């Protein structure tokens, strides 16, 4: 389990209310109102100049999505200088590398879509054993419905790189991995090699997203976790972020942004989330603060992490109790609704944008407010209290 004003709410212009002649001050108002997910996507749409000229509704009438395949590219030149109204998320001309995208169900995919909707060019790193299936699904159009952007066009992934972030360089790869049939046919997939390939292909990036984690013994209680399992969780889930930023930072443009995904188990007890994964997430959050200082001073890069609520992704289902965690959140969080991947994607787009230019070293909670709760209000202990329920 592993916002800006623009995606989360509508902001009316706040007009100055001071008379230049009388220098008297009058009350000023700014109206904020929550909107539907459709509204969120529309605002993301307004932040990028998409090449599509046909609406999504028109594309549905004219035939399958494939027949109107239009892609969104990072745009540069005159379009970058065109002023945009309000406070949009504008990532035109920016290039993002998202590590850990292997299907169209997880937060990594949602973040990729949000960044693309804001105008960024998308590169992804996919775990080597999952690479063939992922690329095949892309080619065959299995992800086309999931790739639809606000204007009806399809998110384009400019390039997919094989990546195993557990290994920093070829010298670190043990022989049994080199000869493993799941790795045969792929090359240059260690962190150092991937960064070198990106540099050769594109020169630089602006946004780095770490959306990967693995704990081979995640279903075991911490007391039953082996040293191997514990260190493997730390290596794949937290040090991999240090390694990615260490190698990518030299080719990131100044003012760039780096993001990772964490979970509330880093600071609260979540029974069942074992195998050292809670420790790995705690390390990830601590590293976020230190990296924010070091990368900020040395490379002018912002470093933040999003503590996302539970999602029914394929990766989360491996833990075995994801449905219970979602039900628990829906019953006990201040906002009684199921968290969507798009909401996390929108928050990531905000953190990657100039709107968050002074935010770094931060854990941003995107979990319907569950992190703020001290008790589970669905407990029988509170059955006699008049606790309000969400209006359906």
The catalytic residues are 238, 281
Alpha helices in the chain (DSSP H): 5-8, 37-46, 56-62, 107-117, 128-139, 175-178, 191-202, 227-234, 240-248, 277-299, 314-317, 322-332, 341-352
What burial letters (b/e) apply to 22-33, b meaning 16+ CB within 10 Å?
eeeeeeeeeeee
Cβ neighbors of 59 (< 8 A, separation 6 or more) are 65, 67, 68, 152
Per the CB < 8 A criterion, the answer to whether 265 and 215 are in contact is no
Cβ-Cβ contacts under 8 Å for 208 (sequence gap 6 or more): 96, 97, 99, 244, 245, 248, 252, 256, 257, 258, 259
Calpha distance 47→29 (Å, rounded): 25
Distance CA 137, CA 131 (A): 10
Query: For residues 232 and 35, what is the distance between their CA atoms, to the nearest angstrom?
Result: 42
Rounded Cα–Cα distance for residues 293 and 282 (Å) = 18
Parallel, antiparallel or unpaired: strands 9-11 and 32-34: antiparallel
Give how far Cα 15 sits from Cα of 27, 46, 89, 169, 377, Å: 10, 22, 21, 55, 42
Determine how β-strand 9-11 pairs with β-strand 121-127. unpaired
- Contact indicator for 349, 289 with CB cutoff of 8 Å: no
Task: Tell me the C-alpha distance between 283 and 154, whole Å.
Answer: 36
The pair phi, psi for residue 255, each rounded to 5°, is 90, 5
């Amino acid at each position: 389990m592993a916002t800006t004003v623009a995606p989360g709410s509508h902001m009316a212009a706040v007009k100055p209310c001071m008379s230049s002649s009388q220098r008297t001050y009058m009350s000023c108002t700014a109206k904020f109102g929550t909107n539907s997910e459709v509204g969120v996507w529309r605002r993301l749409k307004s932040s990028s100049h998409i090449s599509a000229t046909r609406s999504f509704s028109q594309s549905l009438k004219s035939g399958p999505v494939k027949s109107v395949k239009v892609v969104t590219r990072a745009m540069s030149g005159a379009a970058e200088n065109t002023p945009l109204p309000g406070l949009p998320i504008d990532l035109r001309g920016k290039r993002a590398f998202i590590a850990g995208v292997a299907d169209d169900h997880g937060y990594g995919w949602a973040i990729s879509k949000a960044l693309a909707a804001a105008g960024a060019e998308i590169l992804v790193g996919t775990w080597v054993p999952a690479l063939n299936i992922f690329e095949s699904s892309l080619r065959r159009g299995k992800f086309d419905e999931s790739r639809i952007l606000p204007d009806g066009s399809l998110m384009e992934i400019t390039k997919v790189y094989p990546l195993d972030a557990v290994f920093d360089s070829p010298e670190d790869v043990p022989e049994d991995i080199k000869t493993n049939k799941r790795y045969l046919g792929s090359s240059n997939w260690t962190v150092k090699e991937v960064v070198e390939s990106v540099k050769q292909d594109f020169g630089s990036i602006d946004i780095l997203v770490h959306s990967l984690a693995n704990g081979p013994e995640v279903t075991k209680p911490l007391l039953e976790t082996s040293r191997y399992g514990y260190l493997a969780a730390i290596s794949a889930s937290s040090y991999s972020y240090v390694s990615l930023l260490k190698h990518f930072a030299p080719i990131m443009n100044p003012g760039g942004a780096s993001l990772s995904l964490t979970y509330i188990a880093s600071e609260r007890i979540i029974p069942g989330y074992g195998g050292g994964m809670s420790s790995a997430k705690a390390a990830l959050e601590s590293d976020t603060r230190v990296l924010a200082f070091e990368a900020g001073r040395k490379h002018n890069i912002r470093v933040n992490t999003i503590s996302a609520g539970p999602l029914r992704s394929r990766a989360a289902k491996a833990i075995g109790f994801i449905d219970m965690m979602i039900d628990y959140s829906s019953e006990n969080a201040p906002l009684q609704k199921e968290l969507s991947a798009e909401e996390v994607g929108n928050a990531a787009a905000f953190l990657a944008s100039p709107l968050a230019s002074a935010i770094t070293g931060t854990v941003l909670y995107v979990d319907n407010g569950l992190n703020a709760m001290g008790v589970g209000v669905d407990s029988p202990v509170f059955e006699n209290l008049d606790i309000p329920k969400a209006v359906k």
